[in-house]
Chains A and B, each alone.
Chain A
Amino acid sequence: MAVKEIISNFKLFVEYQKIFLKSAIEYRANFLLSTFFMFLNDVIWLFFWYLIYYKLGDINGWVFQDLIYIYVFATISFGIAGYFFGNHKEIAELVVKGKLDFYLTLPKKDLTHILISKNSWFDLGDLLFGILLLLFMVSVTKVPLILLMIIPGVLILIGFGILVGSLSFYLQSSESFGSTLYESLISISLYPGSIFTGATKFITLFILPAGFITAVPVQLLHSFDVTWFILLFLFSIALFLLAIYVFYKGLKKYESGNLLYVRM
């Protein structure tokens, strides 16, 4: 039963990928531009850090190569989460504008179907940038461990996106606040982890869990520690499960875009 469901969901995933590909071909110019600009954006930021490190040498012990690792973890996990599960950033919009109706009237599991049914070309630029960094700026021996530790990053991004998006079930007009939180998570994950100490470090790990997307994996690349490794996976899975729970709990309050604003 479960296996059958996974296979059928995978088939649907493939069908959606086909559709995305056709859309990209239909609008190739836009597609290439979006992808290219995101790529360029990443190049500019990495260049910025190169300039900073040129002057400073290291930031609290972290050198430029560490920042490359940060960008590898960040861009590849943004890319996977955003390109293949693009709707994890759009939950609030789906809720507020009543766009969940579509999924609710169809037989597939709601959240699974929601996640796989949108892609973003921007994030493909991220993904390509990350893969290029991985191929040319990272020693081969580190690649398997890096790939393994991208999984929790993807889970955290998707889980956090669903969590803040689900706020919209409970609070009217929390849309922009939710996306600010998500943007903050993305931003913080792009800084050298060594700048966060004490209470701030705790916050970047357990409140806005950016640390688990980049800083912890980079630390583990340097000095492998079983406890942190297990914590990384446990935390990301727990966050992901929590997100699923909160989403379905909130779904009971779904009002299908019937929120009328009455002006007095």
Chain B
Amino acid sequence: MNSQLNKYLSISFINIKESLTYIWDIIFGKVIFIALIIFVFANLWTVVFASKGEVIPGFTLSMMVWYLVFGEALVTSIGRFVKEVGDDIKSGEIANYLTKPYNYIVYKIFVSFGKGLINFMLVLFFGGIVAYLMVGGIKISLVSVPFLLIVALLAMLLNLVIASVISLFAFWIEDSSSLNYIYSKFTFIFGGMIVPLEVYPPLVEKIAAFLPFSYSAYHPSKLVLIFSFKTFLEIFIVQLLWIGFFIIILFFLYKYIIKKVSVNGG
């Protein structure tokens, strides 16, 4: 078990290293774009706050913008996971992985995890610069940092596990880039990556806050801004539950598809 985990962790590590060699491509290709979106929303909230004051009680202007920085850093770190895995399934490429001494999906998750960590830090850094220049900083108590890191890691993991389940649907729905597109929009909006769910009407807010997507964006991002140990524990537990839930679905779905793939050859 331990050597298994070591094997997968070394896969993540290699991908961190690889991402570092492409770091400028990542910055120019993706991070700048995300920083721009943060800039746009900083503009939006600035004009809104100027005319209406606080939109959500307790959320200052800088909190609104920093919320988006954390959301983007968490959510966009999975890259085009659904498309990549979906393409492998669609093309039958997945059959080549079956002979390898590791599980394909777990392998892919750890690959993305490695790349995602770099992406996470880059977005946090460049997005943070934009946010700081536009609306100033926020306060985070040092004590909360280790807990926040745990929640952040679980948020990325949850996102990857859900994405894995979605990507397996490429087996039936041919178009994996569309799947990728729609899933990411879902986490952006209903996962509360862009704005805190409190901005939405109460009913939408309640449903979205319950759905698993919000545990990879809304709950963790909000925890950074408003920390309490009790909320941390709640989020932590629900994240674990959702991750477990999706791993079970993933397990059976994957087994089913592998069976089909090895029979039909993809």
B99 interfacial contact with A, CB 8 Å: no
Given contacts A37-B181, A41-B181, contact A59 B44 (CB under 8 A): yes
Given contacts A33-B173, A184-B36, contact A191 B182 (CB under 8 A): no
CB-based contact B189/A44 at 8 Å: yes
CB-based contact B178/A52 at 8 Å: no
Contacts of A197 in B (CB 8 A): 43, 47
CB distance from A141 to the nearest CB of B (A): 30
Contacts of A224 in B (CB 8 A): none
Minimum CB distance partner of A198 in chain B: B43
A229 interfacial contact with B, CB 8 Å: no
B51 interfacial contact with A, CB 8 Å: yes
CB-based contact B185/A191 at 8 Å: no
Given contacts A56-B52, A56-B55, A180-B32, contact A195 B40 (CB under 8 A): yes
CB-based contact B43/A200 at 8 Å: yes
CB distance from B246 to the nearest CB of A (A): 22
B80 interfacial contact with A, CB 8 Å: no
B108 interfacial contact with A, CB 8 Å: no
Rounded to whole angstroms, the CA-CA distance of A51 and B198 in the bound complex is: 11
As a 0/1 sequence over residues 29 to 66 of chain A, the CB contacts with chain B under 8 angstroms (1 = contact) are 11001100110110011011001101110011000000
B204 interfacial contact with A, CB 8 Å: yes
CB-based contact B33/A184 at 8 Å: yes
Rounded to whole angstroms, the CA-CA distance of A52 and B195 in the bound complex is: 9
CB distance from B126 to the nearest CB of A (A): 13
Contacts of B175 in A (CB 8 A): 30, 33-34, 37
Query: Which residues between 12 and 47 of chain B lie within 8 Å of chain A, taking CB atoms?
Result: 25, 28-30, 32-33, 36-37, 40, 43-44, 46-47
B200 interfacial contact with A, CB 8 Å: yes
Rounded to whole angstroms, the CA-CA distance of A191 and B174 in the bound complex is: 32
A-B contact count (CB 8 A): 84
A176 interfacial contact with B, CB 8 Å: yes
CB distance from B73 to the nearest CB of A (A): 18
B106 interfacial contact with A, CB 8 Å: no
Residue count of chain A within 8 Å CB distance of chain B:
35
Given contacts A40-B182, A44-B185, A51-B201, contact A187 B44 (CB under 8 A): no
Residue count of chain B within 8 Å CB distance of chain A:
33
CB-based contact B174/A30 at 8 Å: yes
B48 interfacial contact with A, CB 8 Å: yes
Q: Which residue among A55, A59, A188, A196 has the maximum number of chain B CB atoms within 10 Å of its CB?
A: A55
CB-based contact B51/A176 at 8 Å: no
CB-based contact A51/B200 at 8 Å: yes
Q: Which residue among A48, A192, A194 has the maximum number of chain B CB atoms within 10 Å of its CB?
A: A48
CB-based contact A44/B178 at 8 Å: no
Task: From the candidates A41, A59, A179, name the one contacting B182 in the complex (CB within 8 A).
Answer: A41
Task: From the candidates B29, B43, B48, B199, name the one contacting A177 in the complex (CB within 8 A).
Answer: B29
A183 interfacial contact with B, CB 8 Å: yes
As a 0/1 sequence over residues 155 to 182 of chain B, the CB contacts with chain A under 8 angstroms (1 = contact) are 0000000000000000001110011011
CB-based contact B28/A180 at 8 Å: yes
Rounded to whole angstroms, the CA-CA distance of A173 and B25 in the bound complex is: 9
Minimum CB distance partner of A44 in chain B: B185
B186 interfacial contact with A, CB 8 Å: yes
CB distance from B237 to the nearest CB of A (A): 28
Given contacts A30-B175, A41-B181, contact A52 B33 (CB under 8 A): no
Rounded to whole angstroms, the CA-CA distance of A51 and B188 in the bound complex is: 14
Rounded to whole angstroms, the CA-CA distance of A38 and B175 in the bound complex is: 12
Rounded to whole angstroms, the CA-CA distance of A52 and B56 in the bound complex is: 12
CB-based contact A176/B28 at 8 Å: yes
Contacts of A44 in B (CB 8 A): 182, 185-186, 189
Rounded to whole angstroms, the CA-CA distance of A30 and B86 in the bound complex is: 14
Minimum CB distance partner of B174 in chain A: A30
Contacts of A180 in B (CB 8 A): 28-30, 32-33
As a 0/1 sequence over residues 159 to 196 of chain A, the CB contacts with chain B under 8 angstroms (1 = contact) are 00000000000000100110110011001100110111
Taking beta carbons and an 8 Å cutoff, which residues of A are in contact with B? Answer: 29-30, 33-34, 37-38, 40-41, 44-45, 47-48, 51-52, 54-56, 59-60, 173, 176-177, 179-180, 183-184, 187-188, 191-192, 194-197, 200
Supply 9 A–B pairs (Cβ within 8 Å), ascending by A: A29-B174, A40-B182, A48-B194, A51-B199, A52-B195, A54-B201, A56-B52, A188-B40, A191-B44
Going nearest first, the 9 A-B pairs with the smallest beta carbon separation are A37-B178, A176-B29, A60-B47, A195-B44, A33-B175, A177-B28, A51-B200, A195-B43, A48-B189
